Amino acid sequence: MTISVTDYFETRKADRKKETRYLAVINKDSCTSCNSCATQCPVDCIYEVVSNIPSESYHQIDTSRCIGCQMCYRIPAESNDHYNLEICPWNAIDMLHNPNVKPDEVSAIEPYYQGEESDLPWPKLEEYAYQFFLDGEVFLPVGDEGLIAFMQPLAADVWFLTPDENAPLIVEVPGGNDFVRYRATEEGRAILDAMFEDYDRIFLD
């Protein structure tokens, strides 16, 4: 990327109805113009920049139309329940946070946390907790220790259920050879329902 994130977001049209929290960006040096991302885009904002030399063609994103939905970046696989984290086979797409949109000061899940560790990645934990609220389970690729580490606080017995009882939100269950599967516990479902009862945000990172 040759310009700053702030400059990148200034390429958007001024008549947007709502600021997007994120925009997708394609690294043209990594892009092979395979069209995988363009076939997933619901607003048709990804186009090919054609070169006379086929190997130098690449795809670009119209930032004035991108809604930050991440469909080009990661979506549930259509063939099975495994969550496919990357649509681009060349890992050429990144999601940039919009500097014009500030995250909430207080996480929706932090007030329910009863553990001693305070310096937790609350936005990321909230994203995964929200996915458990929506789907009840999450699949992560085996070997991706970074993502799996995010599950540990959610699986700890440190979430407020009643004044006299804490409970884990999730538990690891048998998955497969290629992925690790986590499912919301019965008590966790009750806590998640309380966390997101009046929730009106959708996470994109």
In this prediction, residue 202 carries a pLDDT of 43
In this prediction, residue 199 carries a pLDDT of 66
160 Cα distance to chain centroid: 25
Which tens digits make up the pLDDT trace of 52-72?
887 888 898 887 778 877 788
Burial class (CB in 10 A: 0-12, 13-18, 19+), 43: exposed
For residue 160, report the phi and psi dihedrals to the nearest 5 degrees. -65, 120
In this prediction, residue 189 carries a pLDDT of 93
**Tokens of residue 103, six digits:** 């995250």
In this prediction, residue 205 carries a pLDDT of 38
Q: 192 near 184, Cβ under 8 Å?
A: yes
Of 20, 40, 151, 150, the C-alpha closest to 93 is: 40
Residue 55 CA: distances (Å) to CA of 33, 34, 46, 50, 114:
8, 11, 18, 10, 54
CB burial of 137-171 (b: ≥16 within 10 Å; e: otherwise) equals ebbbeeeeeebeebbebbbbebbebeeeebbbbbe
All domains of the chain in start order, with CATH: 5-203 (3.30.70.20)
What's the rounded Cα separation, in Å, for the pair 106 and 77? 32
Residues of the chain under the 70 pLDDT cut:
1-19, 74-86, 97-106, 199-205
SS3 46: strand
- Identify the sign of the CA torsion 183, 87, 98, 62: negative
Q: Which pTM was predicted?
A: 0.51
Kind of pairing between the strands at 165-167 and 170-173: unpaired
In this prediction, residue 204 carries a pLDDT of 40
